[in-house]
């Protein structure tokens, strides 16, 4: 975590329906309760219809812009490989990248008009070396019994980058933001994700 | 102390739109009406879900929403209407005259712009309405300001006897930041109507001339108020450069150039003339940073001031961002970040109709018929994209029906069988009824298809007068489209099940060829995401019979998300060579069976999940 005065920029990307917005809501709740100013911006609109979704999340002592400056992301947390690659240039040279090993084909790939990019993980490793972390969020979520919880698995993995925030703070945020019937599943998803990195 | 650490006050991270709803509740608002539209829809939903003290309704359109709110205001209650920028065009008729009548209970009009057209049909700058209509406009930059400005708007509205605009935009309404929560305070104005006030509210010429003068005097008083307005703020740092800005542009600029001096306007109309003069005296050069039109710049230049930089470097279209502002103001000194991958060359991921959507088979049918389709605003507008490409116009809500009528009037018999209009259920009720009435009245012969999916789809499932439910999920009356068409005088009315492609094609062809007005209503075709009315399909999912698929790509023409082309040479069981074949993702296929009707080789077969 950064010292006071600096702002930490987290760029989240994925595909509509993957739960990126809930994931970023958890981040906002955790860092607000930890005493930071937070700002978050996302595009809703037609995202539900399978379009790409991005969320800019920032925390620090005082945050102005809700948008991260291009090229200034400290972290890229991506829920889908093509959507990770699309934002590779947003990450600082020493930034950290967390990839979910999932591919969702866009329409042009489905139609056979374009190829899904190959070797996305390797491309990231070429530029970010040891700062690339890969999680199989869906597989972990499937083992817990619900692939819908892959977003929270990723948040669990991502939580490791903030050692000053206790596990209980993350769990509290999940409890605050989700209906009670989903608590057990998502807390389990968080814990499994946390163990995955 | 960091903002979240102060535990004495309750602080919550809220979306800008939620904060507006909260502000309305704290301000003692009694009534809120709206028609959904991105990025404004959450405001009314938040009110309906969380604040039972406020009567809330989805109105059929924005004009009605404003009129409902105006009535509440005349009866003494604080009231509001919220809409997206193009909704304000629809609402402008009452709004422009409410400027003259003024209000009794505070009246707020929230208008949400969409710079960069993330989800709209144009990119207009709503600040122009304030100058045009001679009403004050506030522009918040984050969620806390959304709440604070909403509250002060009601005070201003009552003090100056005027409707007040609150202008947001995508990056304000859909951004989240901390908000300090406060309690609700009820308005002290009694709820009643008074016949003695008729002259104020009846805009016949003799009364208009009286109110016309009141409006001008009010603007003068508001100008003076703007100079004292607590949310117009000056921050003097380095005096070599001063930035005049507002809304989210302030946050972007402040982030990139924290060392500059700022005049941040919370009220963008009328402008604080004395304050601007004072700012010009304090700083050497002034830069104006604003999204879209040179609204502030034009006004400030007209006051006689020099502008060092404004729209000469800041773009006048699309949205701004920290790097766009940095690049514009630093020029050649701006350092581009490293380009690691040419991301422009990656396959794009545009939004698509959902798997199982009832619009897909209908637009496939229209494509096969070769119809010119006058379209409308909704999820189905996505059918303009490849591979369907079956929408040929989109202007505004309701436009397609009148346009098809006009086209048929000039094409005569040449148009028969070639032209139709499509419109969604919510959109039809918004502004499709009057053009349909026009077709009947003026003896038109065009065909109108209502794509009834039982909900307002694209904006995220809002109820409307055809769904049978209110915003608070109470059961209510539902419009019967076929009966309505009959009452309006439409001569031929048919119903189709869009999932049956062959039958739909036959009916649409017949109706387009008939020399009379026609209305076709899609039935049993609810939005696939709408759990309440979920349509049952025969099989849960489908798969490809690899022995039969010839790789003809016919099923790819519907652009269904679970269907993917796999390039791999091979042969079918009966010896046909193929270059590849398709595959169906069983997890995302919902079993609608549309592709099955298209496949000529019986290669798509039922499967289990």
CATH number at residue A102: 3.40.920.10
Please give the angle made by the CA atoms of B395, B401 and B407, to the nearest 5 degrees. Answer: 90
Residue of A82, A116, A127 lying closest to B340 (CB–CB): A127
As beta bridge partners, residue B13 has: B178
The range of the structural domain enclosing residue B181 comes to: 3-228
The alpha carbon of B375 is separated from its chain's Cα centroid by a whole number of angstroms, namely 17
What CATH number is given to the structural domain containing B272? 3.40.50.920
Nearest chain A CA: its distance from B39 CA (Å): 7
pLDDT tens for B472-519 read 999 999 999 999 999 999 999 999 999 999 999 999 999 999 999 999
Give the pairing of strands B175-180 and A37-42.
antiparallel
Half-sphere exposure of B464 (CA within 13 A, CB side): 28
Task: Please tell me whether residues B474 and B493 are part of one structural domain.
Answer: yes
Write the CA distances from B350 to A51, A111, A147, B342, B382, integer angstroms.
5, 13, 24, 18, 9
Let me know if residue B553 belongs to a domain.
Answer: yes
The range of the structural domain enclosing residue A113 comes to: 7-136+158-179
pLDDT given for residue A52 in this prediction: 86
Task: Please tell me whether residues B497 and B397 are part of one structural domain.
Answer: yes
What CATH number is given to the structural domain containing B576? 3.30.70.20
**Is B345 part of the contact surface with chain A (CB cutoff 8 Å)?**
no
Which of residues 170 through 199 in chain B touch A, CB cutoff 8 A?
170-171, 174-178
Q: Is B176 helix (H, G, I), strand (E, B) or coil?
A: strand
Task: Please tell me whether residues B455 and B412 are part of one structural domain.
Answer: yes
Cβ–Cβ under 8 Å, residues A11 and A77: yes
Give the Cβ contact number of residue B453 at 10 Å: 26
Residue of B13, B379, B561 lying closest to A110 (CB–CB): B561
Give the Cβ contact number of residue A121 at 10 Å: 15
Let me know if residue B338 belongs to a domain.
Answer: no
As beta bridge partners, residue B180 has: B11
**Is B224 part of the contact surface with chain A (CB cutoff 8 Å)?**
no
**CA B506 – CA B415 distance, rounded (Å):** 18
Determine whether the interchain pair B2/A105 forms a contact, defined as Cβ–Cβ distance below 8 Å: no
**Is B413 part of the contact surface with chain A (CB cutoff 8 Å)?**
no
Let me know if residue B71 belongs to a domain.
Answer: yes
pLDDT tens for B446-465 read 999 999 999 999 999 999 99
Let me know if residue B345 belongs to a domain.
Answer: no
Q: DSSP characters for B20-64?
A: HHHHHHHTT--EEEE---TTTTHHHHHHHHH-TTSEEEE-SSHHH
Nearest chain A CA: its distance from B130 CA (Å): 26
Cβ–Cβ under 8 Å, residues B274 and B229: no
In the numeric block, which tokens belong to residue B81?
Answer: 């209407």
Cβ–Cβ under 8 Å, residues B286 and B280: yes
Q: Is the peptide bond between B270 and the residue preceding it cis, with omega within 30 degrees of 0?
A: yes
Q: DSSP characters for A108-171?
A: HHHTTSSPPPS-HHHHHHHHHGGGEEEE-HHHHHHHHT-GGGHHHHHHHHHGGG-TTS-HHHHH
Among residues of chain B, what percentage have pLDDT more than 70? 99
Let me know if residue B80 belongs to a domain.
Answer: yes
Cβ–Cβ under 8 Å, residues A91 and A99: no
Cβ–Cβ under 8 Å, residues A11 and A73: yes
How many domains does chain A contain in total?
1
Let me know if residue B592 belongs to a domain.
Answer: yes
In the numeric block, which tokens belong to residue B341?
Answer: 């991958």
Instruction: Tell me the mean pLDDT in the region B425-432.
Output: 98
Residue of A48, A52, A88 lying closest to B340 (CB–CB): A88
Cβ–Cβ under 8 Å, residues A60 and A5: yes
Determine whether the interchain pair A93/B338 forms a contact, defined as Cβ–Cβ distance below 8 Å: yes
Task: Please tell me whether residues B383 and B514 are part of one structural domain.
Answer: yes
**Is B271 part of the contact surface with chain A (CB cutoff 8 Å)?**
no
Residue of A45, A93, A127 lying closest to B119 (CB–CB): A45
Cβ–Cβ under 8 Å, residues B39 and B85: no
Determine whether the interchain pair B323/A32 forms a contact, defined as Cβ–Cβ distance below 8 Å: no
Let me know if residue A151 belongs to a domain.
Answer: no
Let me know if residue A45 belongs to a domain.
Answer: yes
Residue of B4, B175, B379 lying closest to A39 (CB–CB): B175
Task: Please tell me whether residues B428 and B556 are part of one structural domain.
Answer: no
Nearest chain A CA: its distance from B518 CA (Å): 31
Instruction: Tell me the mean pLDDT in the region B163-188.
Output: 97
Nearest chain B CA: its distance from A33 CA (Å): 6
Q: Torsion over CA of B440, B444, B447 and B448, rounded to 10 degrees? A: -40
Determine whether the interchain pair A106/B170 forms a contact, defined as Cβ–Cβ distance below 8 Å: no
**CA A79 – CA A21 distance, rounded (Å):** 11
Determine whether the interchain pair B458/A115 forms a contact, defined as Cβ–Cβ distance below 8 Å: no
Task: Please tell me whether residues B38 and B186 are part of one structural domain.
Answer: yes
The alpha carbon of B221 is separated from its chain's Cα centroid by a whole number of angstroms, namely 33
Determine whether the interchain pair B13/A52 forms a contact, defined as Cβ–Cβ distance below 8 Å: no
Q: Is B474 exposed, middle or buried (0-12, 13-18, 19+ CB in 10 A)?
A: exposed
Let me know if residue B346 belongs to a domain.
Answer: no
| Alpha-helix runs per DSSP H in B229-286 | 247-256, 273-282
Residue of A31, A67, A85 lying closest to B321 (CB–CB): A67
In the numeric block, which tokens belong to residue B133?
Answer: 């209509």
Contacts for B150 with CB less than 8 Å, ≥ 6 apart = B19, B20, B23, B24, B27, B108, B110, B166
pLDDT given for residue A1 in this prediction: 39
Residues of A in contact with B351 (CB under 8 A): 16, 46-51
pLDDT given for residue B368 in this prediction: 98
Cβ–Cβ under 8 Å, residues B407 and B446: yes
Instruction: Tell me the mean pLDDT in the region B192-201.
Output: 97
Determine whether the interchain pair B564/A63 forms a contact, defined as Cβ–Cβ distance below 8 Å: no
Length of chain A in residues, anyone?
197
Length of chain B in residues, anyone?
609
Return the sign of the alpha-carbon dihedral for residues B574, B577, B582, B586. Answer: positive
Nearest chain A CA: its distance from B587 CA (Å): 11
Helices A167-177 and A20-33 pack at an angle, to 10 degrees, of 120
Nearest chain B CA: its distance from A195 CA (Å): 27
Nearest chain A CA: its distance from B81 CA (Å): 20
Residues of B in contact with A105 (CB under 8 A): 564
- Which residue reads 């969380």 in tokens? B50
Among the candidates B194, B228, B262, a domain finishes at B228
Residue of A32, A42, A123 lying closest to B178 (CB–CB): A32
Residue in chain B closest to A62 (alpha carbons) equals: B2
Instruction: Count contacts between A and B (CB, < 8 Å).
Output: 185
Nearest chain B CA: its distance from A193 CA (Å): 23
Cβ–Cβ under 8 Å, residues B81 and B91: yes
pLDDT tens for B560-586 read 999 999 999 999 999 999 999 999 998
Strands (E), B302-397: 372-374
What CATH number is given to the structural domain containing B509? 3.40.50.970
Residue B6, pLDDT above cutoff 70: no
Let me know if residue B427 belongs to a domain.
Answer: yes
Among the candidates B533, B565, B590, a domain finishes at B533
Let me know if residue A143 belongs to a domain.
Answer: no
Mean pLDDT across chain B, nearest whole number? 96
Nearest chain B CA: its distance from A144 CA (Å): 18
- Interface mutation vs chain B, best among A4, A50, A97, most B CBs within 10 Å: A50
Task: Please tell me whether residues B224 and B238 are part of one structural domain.
Answer: no
Task: Please tell me whether residues B365 and B460 are part of one structural domain.
Answer: yes
Residue B91, pLDDT above cutoff 70: yes
How many domains does chain B contain in total?
4
As beta bridge partners, residue B242 has: B261, B286
Instruction: Print pLDDT tens along chain A (197 aa).
Output: 344 469 999 999 999 888 898 999 999 999 999 999 999 998 765 656 778 899 999 999 999 999 999 999 999 999 999 999 999 999 999 999 999 999 999 989 988 899 999 999 999 999 999 999 999 999 999 999 998 999 999 999 999 999 999 999 999 999 999 999 999 999 999 999 999 99
Determine whether the interchain pair B323/A70 forms a contact, defined as Cβ–Cβ distance below 8 Å: yes
ipTM field: 0.94
Let me know if residue A84 belongs to a domain.
Answer: yes
**Is B339 part of the contact surface with chain A (CB cutoff 8 Å)?**
yes
Give the pairing of strands A37-42 and A7-15.
unpaired
Q: DSSP characters for B459-505?
A: TT-B--TTTSB-TT--B-----HHHHHHHHT-SEEEEE-TT-HHHHH
- Interface mutation vs chain B, best among A49, A95, A108, A120, most B CBs within 10 Å: A49
Let me know if residue A152 belongs to a domain.
Answer: no
**CA B223 – CA B134 distance, rounded (Å):** 11
Which of residues 566 through 585 in chain B touch A, CB cutoff 8 A?
567, 580
Let me know if residue A113 belongs to a domain.
Answer: yes
pLDDT given for residue B587 in this prediction: 83
> Does an H or E element contain B262, and which?
strand B260-265
pLDDT tens for B369-383 read 999 999 999 999 999
Task: Please tell me whether residues B196 and B299 are part of one structural domain.
Answer: no
Residues of A in contact with B116 (CB under 8 A): none
Residue B5, pLDDT above cutoff 60: no
Nearest chain A CA: its distance from B346 CA (Å): 7
Give the pairing of strands B137-138 and B267-269.
antiparallel
Let me know if residue A167 belongs to a domain.
Answer: yes
Task: Please tell me whether residues B299 and B435 are part of one structural domain.
Answer: no
Write the CA distances from B334 to B5, B291, B325, B343, integer angstroms.
37, 20, 10, 21
Q: Is B99 helix (H, G, I), strand (E, B) or coil?
A: helix
**Is B5 part of the contact surface with chain A (CB cutoff 8 Å)?**
yes
Instruction: Tell me the mean pLDDT in the region B102-129.
Output: 96
Task: Please tell me whether residues B268 and B313 are part of one structural domain.
Answer: yes
Least Cα distance to A27 among A44, A40, A13 occurs for A40
**Is B415 part of the contact surface with chain A (CB cutoff 8 Å)?**
no
Task: Please tell me whether residues B560 and B527 are part of one structural domain.
Answer: no
**CA B567 – CA B551 distance, rounded (Å):** 9
Instruction: Tell me the mean pLDDT in the region B313-318.
Output: 97
Residue of A45, A89, A111 lying closest to B38 (CB–CB): A45
Determine whether the interchain pair A109/B337 forms a contact, defined as Cβ–Cβ distance below 8 Å: no
pLDDT given for residue A48 in this prediction: 61
Residues of A in contact with B254 (CB under 8 A): 64-65
**CA B507 – CA B513 distance, rounded (Å):** 10
Residues of B in contact with A115 (CB under 8 A): 347
Among the candidates B507, B533, B559, a domain finishes at B533
Residues of B in contact with A37 (CB under 8 A): 2-4, 177-178
Q: Torsion over CA of B233, B238, B241 and B247, rounded to 10 degrees? A: -30
């Amino acid at each position: 975590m950064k010292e006071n005065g600096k702002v930490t920029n987290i760029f989240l990307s994925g595909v509509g329906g993957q739960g990126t917005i809930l994931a970023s809501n958890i981040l906002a709740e955790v860092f607000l309760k930890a005493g930071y100013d937070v700002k978050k911006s996302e595009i809703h609109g037609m995202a539900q219809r399978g379009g790409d979704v991005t969320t800019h999340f920032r925390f620090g002592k005082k945050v102005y812009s809700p948008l991260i400056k291009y090229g200034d992301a400290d972290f890229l947390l991506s829920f889908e490989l093509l959507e990770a690659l699309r934002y590779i240039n947003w990450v600082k040279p020493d930034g950290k990248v967390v990839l979910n090993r999932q591919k969702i084909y866009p329409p042009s790939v489905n139609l056979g008009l374009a190829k899904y990019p190959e070797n996305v993980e390797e491309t990231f490793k070429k530029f970010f070396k040891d700062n690339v972390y890969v999680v199989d969020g869906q597989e972990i979520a499937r083992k817990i019994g619900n692939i819908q919880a892959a977003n929270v698995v990723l948040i669990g993995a991502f939580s490791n980058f903030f050692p000053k925030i206790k596990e209980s703070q993350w769990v509290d945020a999940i409890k605050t933001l989700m209906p009670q019937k989903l608590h057990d599943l998502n807390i389990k998803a968080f814990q499994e994700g946390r163990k995955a990195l | 102390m960091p903002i979240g650490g102060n535990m004495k006050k309750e602080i919550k991270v809220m979306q800008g739109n939620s904060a507006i709803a909260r502000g309305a509740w704290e301000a003692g608002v009694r009534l809120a009406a709206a028609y959904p539209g991105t990025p404004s829809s959450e405001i009314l939903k938040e009110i309906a879900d969380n604040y039972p003290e406020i009567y809330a309704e989805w109105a059929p359109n924005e004009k009605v929403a404003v009129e409902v709110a105006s009535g509440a205001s005349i009866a003494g209650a604080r009231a509001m209407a919220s809409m997206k920028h193009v909704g304000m065009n629809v609402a402008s008729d009452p709004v422009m005259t409410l400027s003259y009548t003024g209000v009794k209970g505070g009246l707020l009009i929230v208008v949400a712009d969409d710079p960069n057209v993330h989800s709209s049909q144009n990119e207009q700058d709503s600040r122009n309405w304030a100058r045009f209509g001679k009403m004050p406009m506030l522009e918040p930059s984050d969620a806390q300001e959304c709440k604070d400005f909403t509250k002060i708007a009601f005070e201003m509205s009552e003090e100056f006897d005027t409707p007040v605009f609150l202008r947001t935009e995508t990056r304000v309404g859909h951004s989240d930041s901390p908000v300090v929560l406060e309690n609700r305070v009820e308005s002290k104005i009694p709820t009643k109507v008074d016949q003695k006030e008729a002259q104020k509210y009846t805009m016949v010429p003799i009364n208009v001339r009286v109110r016309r003068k009141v409006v001008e005097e009010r603007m003068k008083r508001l100008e003076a108020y703007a100079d004292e307005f607590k949310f117009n703020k000056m921050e003097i740092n380095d005096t070599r450069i001063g930035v005049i800005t507002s809304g989210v542009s302030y946050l972007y600029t402040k982030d990139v150039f924290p060392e500059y001096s700022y005049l941040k306007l919370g009220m963008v109309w009328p402008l604080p003339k004395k304050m601007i003069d004072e700012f010009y005296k304090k700083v050497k050069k002034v830069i104006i940073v604003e999204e879209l039109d040179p609204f502030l710049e034009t006004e400030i230049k007209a006051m006689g001031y020099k502008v060092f930089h404004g729209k000469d470097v800041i773009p006048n279209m699309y949205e701004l961002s920290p790097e766009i502002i940095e690049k514009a103001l630093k020029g050649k000194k701006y350092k581009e970040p490293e380009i690691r991958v040419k991301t422009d060359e990656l396959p794009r991921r545009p939004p698509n109709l959902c798997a199982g959507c009832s619009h897909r088979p209908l637009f496939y049918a229209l494509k096969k018929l070769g119809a010119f389709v006058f379209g409308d605003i909704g999820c189905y507008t996505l059918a303009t994209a490849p591979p369907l490409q079956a929408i040929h116009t989109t202007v505004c809500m309701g436009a397609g029906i009148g346009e098809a009528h006009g086209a048929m009037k000039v094409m005569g018999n040449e148009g028969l069988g070639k032209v139709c209009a499509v419109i969604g259920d919510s959109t039809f009720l918004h502004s499709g009824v009057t053009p349909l009435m026009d077709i009947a009245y003026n003896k038109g012969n065009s065909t109108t298809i209502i794509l009834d999916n039982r909900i307002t789809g694209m904006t995220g499932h809002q109820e409307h007068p055809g769904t049978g439910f209110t915003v608070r999920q109470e059961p209510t009356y539902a419009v019967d489209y076929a009966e309505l068409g009959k009452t309006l005088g439409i001569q031929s009315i048919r119903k189709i099940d869009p999932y049956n492609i062959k039958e739909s094609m036959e009916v649409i062809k017949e109706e387009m060829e008939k020399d009379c007005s026609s209305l076709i209503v899609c039935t049993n075709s609810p939005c696939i995401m709408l759990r309440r009315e979920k349509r049952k399909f025969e099989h849960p999912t489908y798969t490809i019979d690899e022995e039969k698929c010839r790789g003809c790509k016919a099923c790819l023409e519907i652009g269904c998300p679970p269907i993917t082309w796999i390039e791999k040479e091979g042969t079918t069981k009966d010896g046909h060579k193929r270059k590849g074949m398709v595959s169906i993702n069983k997890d995302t296929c919902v079993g609608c069976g549309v592709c099955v009707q298209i496949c000529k080789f019986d290669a798509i077969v039922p499967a289990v999940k």
